[in-house]
Structures are given as C-alpha cells and as structure tokens.
A and B are shown apart, each in its own frame.
Chain A
Amino acid sequence: MSDAALPAAVPARKRLGLSDEALARIVCGLAILAVWEGAMRLWAPPFIARPSGIAVAFWPTITSAAFLEAAGATLGAMAQGLAIAVVAGTVIGLAIGRSWIADRALHYYVNGLFAMPMVAILPLLTLWFGYTSGARLATVVFASIFAIIINVSDGARSVPREYIEVSRAYRASGFSRLMEVVLPASVPYLLAGLRLAAGRALIGAVVAEFFAALNGLGYFILFNTRTFKHNEAFVAVLCLACFGVAVELMMNGATRRYLPWYRREDRGA
C-alpha cells in the first residue's frame, strides 16, 4: 500500500492545485446561491424567483410543451436570422473591404446603423411587418448583420498584399481571387463577427417577443412574471443564458482553432 502511494505523491500536489480552483468555484457558486436565497427569504414577497423555487420548478417547466415550443420558436428565429445575416453581411462586408469607393460610400450608414440600439426600430418593424414572427426575424437580422459586415470588411481589408499579388501574377480572375483568397482569409474575422452578432441576435429576438407578444422565450418570461410564476419564468432566463454561453464558448473555441493569435478585438456590444 505504502509502496504504491509514493510515486503518486508528486502528481498529487498538482491535483491539489487544480482542486483548489474547482473548490473556489464551487464555494463562490454556493455563496451566490445562498445570498440570493437568503435575501429573497428576508425581504422579497414569496412569488419572487429564488434558487429553491427554481430547482422545484425546473423539471416540470423544461418538459412542458409550452416551454419547448417557446424555446424552439426563439432558437429557430435566431438561427434563421443569423443565417440571413451571415450570407448578406459577408457579401456586403467583402464589397466594403475590397472596394475603396464602396467603403467610403457605405461607412456612415454601416457605422450609424451599428451604433443604433436595435430596440429603437421595433415600432417601425412592427409597422412594416405587423405583429408577426416576420417582425422578429427582421429584428434578429437587423441586430446581427452590421456586426458581421464590420468584421468581414475588416478581414477583407487586411488580406496580405502578397496573396493578392500572387493570385494576380497567376492571372486568377477577380471572382476566383475573391472566393479563393479573400474569403478564406476573412473567415476568422467572420467568426469574431458572428460571436458578437449571435449575442445581439438573442437580445433582438427576446425584445421583439416582448414588444409584439410573439410566442417564444421572451413572451414566456413576460407571461409567467405577470401571472406571478417567477420561478417558471426564471427557467426560461436560464435557458437563454445557456444559449448565450454556448455561443460564447463555441465562437471562442472556433476562433482559437482558426486564428490562435487573434485577440478579442470586437467592436461595440
């Protein structure tokens, strides 16, 4: 027994360091939950969300048909809107990045619309599209496309000049230069843009659901808080947080894989 324990002594110290970090995380997590629970018990009326209530409500809510339908609707709109924004945003971004005139002509528009808080145009979009899921899709596209345009144009602009010269020397056509040199070189920037865009798209979808009372997680939260079912509503918040974190982790992973030296250089929020 003691013989076997000896060689384990050295790695055991390393494992201690690791478990220290894990321990810190667990202790902090528990402390946050305890403070939340305690504060709510002391000061808040009983219907307000608290960890114990959420834990009880979690399983029944997450398996209910209404919740699943809402989550599907929000996620679907997000995916659809992001797909549109990626395709259109990449085309516009490449044009801006490669053409000096397009850049100068569009840059006030792109920067202005990027800086505009997308919530502000909800009344306009509901005017155009009615209180339909079309308005939500438009909000998602609008919220996400400018982040992609800006990042892709940055990428297309910073393609090394040598690449362009080589492709020109081999008499590649303009189109194949764009598709085979510029586009691949811009992919890491596209990923950075997508990371930013996905977060904005999520906010856009939820806000559109609040505003137009469309079936989705946003409306699920609104409806349940209004009927004093805060714990059930908070499960939807957790679900949204999971979307957000999943996107963040996926994009971080993909960025690290495709462009290890690329520091987080996103613009705006």
Chain B
Amino acid sequence: MAQPRFWSGQAIGIAALVAGALVWEIGAQFANPAFVAPFSTTAARMWEYAASGTLTDALASSLAIYVSGMAYAIVVGVGLGLLLARARLLRIGLESYIMILYSTPMVALIPFILSMMGFGFAPKVLVVFLFAVFSVLYNTLEGARSLKPELLEVARSFRSSEYAVWRDILVPYTLPFAMTGIRQGIGRGLVGLVSAEFFLSGSGIGLLIIRSGQDFDVPGLYGAIMVITILGVALMAIGRTLENRFAAWRGLS
C-alpha cells in the first residue's frame, strides 16, 4: 500500500525537478543574459570546470578548511560539554555566556579576525570553528542539564569509578544531544566556510563564486552556487543520518 505511493511520490519529485530545469531553460531565453543564464549553459560551464580540474581543486581547498574547522568544533564542543556535564557549578556559571555566544551572529567577528590574523588558512578555519562550535556545545549542555542527578547518585552509592560514570552515564546520555548540535553545526559551519572565503582571503568554492560574480560570468556563478548547494544537501544528509543513528539512545524514538 505504501510502496506505490512512495514511487509515485518520487516520480512527482523528479518530474518537478525536470519541470524546474525546463522553466529555467525556456525562461532564460527571454530574460536578460546579464542576469539569468539558461540551464544548459550553466551545466556546460560546470562540465568544463569539472573536466579542467578547477572544480576539484576548489572543492578540495574548501573542504580542507571546512573539515579542520569542524573537527576542532566537534572535539572542543563535545569535550567541553561533557566536562561541564560533570562539573555542575562550572556549568551553571558558564551556561548563560554560552547561550549568548550561541545566538550571536558570528559573521560579525570576521572583520576582527581579518585584522588580527590576516589572510591564510588558520583564520578561515577559526571562522568555521566559531560558526559551528557553539551549536555543538549548547546542545551538549542541554543534554547535560537534563541528565538526571539520580543516575549519578546511584552510581556514587554503588561506588562506581569515575571512568565508569563517564562511560555508562555521561557519554551515552549526552551524545544524542551532541549529535543534534553537530547536525546544526554542520549547516552553520558551511555558512562560515563561504563567509570566510568571501570576506577573508578568497579561496576554493567561495572564490569561484565571487570571481564569477565580478566577471559577470553568469553561467559560472549559477553553476558554482549549485555546487555549493549540492555540497550543503550532502552534508545535511550526513548530519541527519548521524543524528537519527544516535536518537534511539534518547529512548524517545
């Protein structure tokens, strides 16, 4: 019963994508070529980029920044979050500041980072890190806050070692929350990556977008934006899979 509906759903989805490409292609014929490039030209330009290796180089240099920044963000965010789950008073002390940093738009710090650290790899990694880390930390803390004190009390009355407390209570309890944070951070980090490549020193896919915009290379601009969108969708899917994988630990779903 569900199966045919699933397939007709997929068919509608794909038909809608094809229809979108057609509308884009035909609409662009009537539009000013300075603003809109038809789908075929965009795809051809991307094919050209992919064949010449421009695209691979750009993606590789962007992903190097992104992956380093995210790795730091995950290690620091989850590590600090777990530590604060154990140290209650410190958690209460820092909680409100972390909430403030979580809701501060980190883009606003980019000009400061530029004038303090200049151009290069490290400042861009820092931007990705700053965009992502507070999502991870804030959500891990949320898990820490909902950790039942009874669990720790029982563990203490059974004289479990510190290691056992971490292994059996802290990590399993807060990890699903941390995963929500990581999923959120994946999206934010990508915004950070593009902002860093736009506003610090141009590199990777961000530079490709900027340069096409400045050269009025409209097909290149559309194509580069599509590439970053596909990257975003893929990363989001990874994040969602991670989150769902660990959601079962919450005992909710």
Binding site for B on A (CB under 8 A): 20-21, 24-25, 27-29, 32, 44, 48-49, 100-101, 104-109, 111-124, 126-128, 199, 202-203, 206-207, 210-211, 217-218, 221-222, 225-226, 228, 230, 233-234, 236-237, 240-241, 244-245, 247-248, 264, 266, 268-269
Contacts and interface: CB of A to CB of B under 8 A. Distances in A.
Interface of B: 9-10, 12-13, 15-17, 20, 34-35, 89-90, 92-94, 96-97, 99-112, 114-116, 135, 142, 183-185, 187-188, 190-191, 193-195, 198-199, 206, 209-210, 212-214, 216, 218, 221-222, 224-225, 228-229, 232-233, 235-236
Contacts of B20: 109
21 contacts: A28-B97, A104-B9, A105-B12, A117-B187, A117-B191, A117-B194, A123-B210, A199-B103, A203-B105, A211-B198, A217-B108, A225-B112, A225-B115, A226-B115, A230-B112, A240-B105, A244-B104, A245-B100, A248-B99, A268-B183, A268-B236
A230 B115 contact: yes
B198 A112 contact: no
Given A20-B89, A241-B103, A268-B184, A107 B198 contact: no
A113 B107 contact: no
Nearest to B191: A117
Chain B binding site: helix, strand, loop or mixed by DSSP? helix
A25 B110 contact: no
A209 B103 CA distance: 19
B111 A244 contact: no
Given A117-B191, A126-B213, A199-B103, A237 B35 contact: no
Given A104-B16, A112-B233, A269-B187, A119 B198 contact: yes
Chain A binding site: helix, strand, loop or mixed by DSSP? helix
Contacts of A100: 9
Given A104-B9, A120-B228, A268-B236, A25 B93 contact: yes
Nearest 3 pairs between A and B by C-beta?
A123-B213, A28-B93, A244-B103
A104 B109 contact: no
A264 B99 CA distance: 14
A202 B93 contact: no
Given A104-B13, A230-B112, A115 B104 contact: no
Contact of A117 (B13, B89, B104, B190): B190
A252 B47 CA distance: 47
Nearest to A223: B111
A78 to B, nearest CB: 11
Contacts of A120: 194, 206, 209, 224-225, 228-229
Nearest to A40: B116
Contact of B232 (A25, A116, A241): A116
Given A25-B96, A203-B107, A207-B107, 14 more contacts: A29-B93, A32-B97, A44-B116, A48-B115, A48-B116, A111-B233, A113-B229, A119-B194, A124-B213, A211-B199, A225-B111, A228-B115, A240-B105, A248-B103
